[in-house]
Amino acid sequence: EAGVTQFPSHSVIEKGQTVTLRCDPISGHDNLYWYRRVMGKEIKFLLHFVKESKQDESGMPNNRFLAERTGGTYSTLKVQPAELEDSGVYFCASSQDNGNYGYTFGSGTRLTVV
Amino acid sequence: AQSVSQHNHHVILSEAASLELGCNYSYGGTVNLFWYVQYPGQHLQLLLKYFSGDPLVKGIKGFEAEFIKSKFSFNLRKPSVQWSDTAEYFCAVNSWTGNQFYFGTGTSLTVIP
């Protein structure tokens, strides 16, 4: 089966610009997660979708971040306007169940805000 | 809140050396424990996991981990590392009541041929 796919793999943008990250989960996986790793720190939870609904968005850092999952398939994570501290690697993951038994991760999008 | 500590940030070993990476977590309830690995340029992959039962779990590529409940630890081991084990290793926990993972800061392992 195809894995979790993330686009782009790298993005370099200027402070104040907008960036949209995309995640295509494994087909049939209702659960989709976004995580972020700021350099040198731990990977932190951002939010969890079940189909198109946000199940838990407690990890979203602020209202500059907007995640959507229209139709319950792929998801986008938009950062607008981007700040320097938003730099990091954004991981997407999906699971068929509620994720207690592990996820399948994508390769991540490395975002650099300059 | 749950937290995970990985004691070693960077480890450099020669091939055939033994490996042990420490992981401690803080959570009072029942947890699931995981080790993920990220090889250079690749996605995070599940190395092994523990839910219940035998506290010594075996994963892929000869890795194993031991859950010691009294120490809140889940250390990763491999008797003899190979150059291909060069990667970043992440310990993670989640609880039965939650759906999010808590990760450690990761340990970068470099194996010298």
**Interval A52-80 mean pLDDT:** 95
Q: What is the pLDDT of residue B27?
A: 79
- Tell me the C-alpha distance between B61 and B70, whole Å: 28
Q: Are B104 and A99 in contact (CB < 8 Å)?
A: no
> pLDDT per residue over B2-13, tens digit each?
789 998 899 999
Tokens at residue B2, please? 């749950």
- Tell me the C-alpha distance between B47 and B58, whole Å: 9
Please state, rounded to an integer, the average pLDDT across all residues of chain A.
Answer: 93
Q: What is the pLDDT of residue B96?
A: 65
pLDDT band of A1, cuts 50, 70, 90: low
Q: What is the pLDDT of residue A39?
A: 86
Tell me the pairing of strands B23-26 and B3-6.
antiparallel
Distances (CA, A) of A72 to A24, A52, A56, B23, B43: 10, 4, 15, 35, 23
Tell me the residue type at A24: D
> pLDDT per residue over B59-102, tens digit each?
999 999 999 999 999 999 999 999 999 999 999 998 766 678 99
> pLDDT per residue over B11-65, tens digit each?
999 999 999 999 999 977 788 999 999 999 889 999 999 988 999 999 999 999 9
> pLDDT per residue over A69-95, tens digit each?
988 899 999 999 999 999 999 999 999
Q: Between A44, A100, A102, which is nearest B46 by CB?
A: A102
Cβ-contact A99, A31 below 8 angstroms? yes
Mutant choice from A100, A101, A109, A110 vs B, greatest count of B C-beta within 10 A: A100
φ, ψ at B20 (rounded to 5°): -145, 120
Q: What is the pLDDT of residue B22?
A: 96
Q: What is the pLDDT of residue B98?
A: 66
- Compute the nearest-CA separation of A66 from chain B (Å): 19
Q: Is the pLDDT assigned to residue A16 strictly greater than 90?
A: yes
Q: What is the pLDDT of residue A46?
A: 96
Q: Is the pLDDT assigned to residue A2 strictly greater than 80?
A: no
Chain A residues within 8 angstroms (CB to CB) of chain B: 3-4, 31, 33, 35, 40-45, 48, 55-56, 58-59, 91, 93, 98-103, 105-108
Q: What is the pLDDT of residue B97?
A: 65
Secondary structure (3-state) at A21: strand
Tell me the residue type at A60: M
φ, ψ at A70 (rounded to 5°): -65, 130
* Among chain A residues, CA nearest to B52: A101
Q: What is the pLDDT of residue B1?
A: 67
Q: Between B41, B99, B105, which is nearest A98 by CB?
A: B99
Q: What is the pLDDT of residue B99?
A: 77
